[in-house]
Amino acid sequence: MNFTAKMIAEFLRGTVEGDPDVSVNDVAKIEEGKEGALSFLANPKYEKYIYSSGSSVIIVNKDFKPEKPVGATLIRVEDAYEAFASLLRMYEQSKPKKSGISEQVAVSEKAGLGKEIYIGEFAVVSEGAVIGDHVQIHPQVFIGENVKIGDNCTLYPGVKIYHDCEIGKNCTFHSGVVIGGDGFGFVPDENNAFSKVPQLGNVIVEDNVEIGANTTVDRATMGSTIIRKGVKLDNLIMVAHNVEIGENTVIAGQTGIAGSTKVESDCLLGGQVGIAGHIRIAKGVKIGAQAGINNSVKKEGAVLMGSPAFDLQSFYKSYAVFRRLPELRKDLIEVERAVKPSPESGTK
The residues annotated as belonging to the active site are 241
Distance CA 283, CA 281 (A): 7
Distance CA 335, CA 348 (A): 19
- Residue 325 is inside which H or E element, if any? helix 325-339
Helices assigned H by DSSP within 110-225: none
Helices assigned H by DSSP within 154-260: none
Half-sphere CA count of 16, side-chain side, radius 13 A: 17
- Cα–Cα nearest to 138, from 160, 156, 152: 156
Distance CA 333, CA 60 (A): 56
- Cα–Cα nearest to 244, from 218, 272, 271, 211: 218
Q: How many CB atoms lie within 10 A of CB 348?
A: 4
- Cα–Cα nearest to 90, from 10, 205, 210, 151: 10
Q: Is 196 helix (H, G, I), strand (E, B) or coil?
A: strand
* Residues pairing with 334 in the sheet: none
- Cα–Cα nearest to 183, from 110, 241, 129, 232: 241
Question: 203: buried, middle or exposed (CB in 10 Å: 19+, 13-18, 0-12)?
Answer: buried
Q: How many CB atoms lie within 10 A of CB 45?
A: 8
The bridge status of strand 37-41 relative to strand 124-125 is: unpaired
